């Protein structure tokens, strides 16, 4: 297949799939090795960016997904009237931060760090598909362990957990900064 054809195939597959498609699946379907595919997709991603197209391909944990470009949200929402989705509360965001950086964690780990009961916040995160159960801790009571989902990475624009920003040590006043490059 010519590169152009491969690109067209990938585009079509990602459009039809809607959900993220793994590089393994693409490689199986197109019968092309993963490294070549990755290079081709990288080129497509750059092309969509460069041409400021209305759609883009995003990468999350070696999966690719077709979605709209945020710049055109204003116009898209005029057309579709999206469901009113509220952002997460501070309590939920704090809980999410603790889960993201310490996974897998138990309820009591979270409560210890936040200093308050966090069940409500945790349930909201589970309902939104940002956090899920990741087995149980082999300790008395076998408490449930929680971790973040692929949906979390997607919603917050991270490619992988390694992509989360570093946290600097507190300065001499005890103030902490986030190092986001």
User: Site residues for other proteins, window 110-149 (CB under 8 A)?
Assistant: 113-117
Cβ neighbours of residue 11 closer than 8 Å, sequence gap 6 or more: 44, 66
Position 70 contacts other proteins (CB under 8 A):
yes
Using CB under 8 A, pick the residue from 63, 96, 105, 125 that binds other proteins: 96
At closest approach, how far in Å is the CB of 4 from other proteins?
23
Tokens 């449930």 appear where? 144
Strand partners, 167: 178
Nearer to other proteins, 40 or 57 (CB): 57
129-to-69, 90, 124, 138 alpha-carbon distances in Å: 22, 17, 9, 25
Using CB under 8 A, pick the residue from 35, 62, 68, 123 that binds other proteins: 68
Position 19 contacts other proteins (CB under 8 A):
yes
Q: Please choose, from the candidates 19, 20, 37, the residue with its C-alpha nearest in 3D space to the C-alpha of residue 28.
A: 37
What does residue 160 show for φ and ψ, rounded to 5 degrees? -155, 170
Q: Which residues bind other proteins (CB under 8 A)?
A: 15-19, 58, 65-70, 73, 76, 80, 82, 85, 87-88, 90-91, 93-94, 96-98, 100-101, 113-117, 155-157, 165, 167, 170, 172-178, 180
């Amino acid at each position: 297949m010519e590169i152009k054809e491969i690109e067209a195939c990938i585009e079509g597959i990602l459009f039809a799939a809607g959900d993220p498609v793994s590089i393994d699946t693409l490689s199986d379907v197109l019968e092309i090795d993963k490294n070549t595919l990755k290079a081709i997709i990288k080129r497509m991603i750059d092309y969509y960016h460069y041409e400021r197209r209305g759609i883009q391909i995003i990468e999350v944990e070696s999966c690719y997904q077709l979605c709209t470009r945020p710049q055109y949200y204003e116009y898209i929402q005029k057309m579709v009237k999206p469901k009113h989705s509220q952002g997460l509360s501070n309590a939920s965001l704090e809980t999410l931060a603790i889960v993201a950086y310490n996974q897998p964690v138990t309820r009591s780990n979270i409560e210890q760090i936040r200093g308050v009961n966090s069940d409500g916040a945790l349930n909201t995160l589970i309902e939104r598909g940002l956090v899920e159960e990741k087995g149980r801790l082999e300790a008395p009571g076998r408490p449930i362990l929680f971790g973040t989902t692929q949906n979390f990475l997607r919603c917050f624009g991270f490619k992988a957990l390694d992509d989360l920003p570093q946290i600097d040590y507190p300065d001499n006043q005890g103030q902490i900064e986030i190092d986001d490059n």
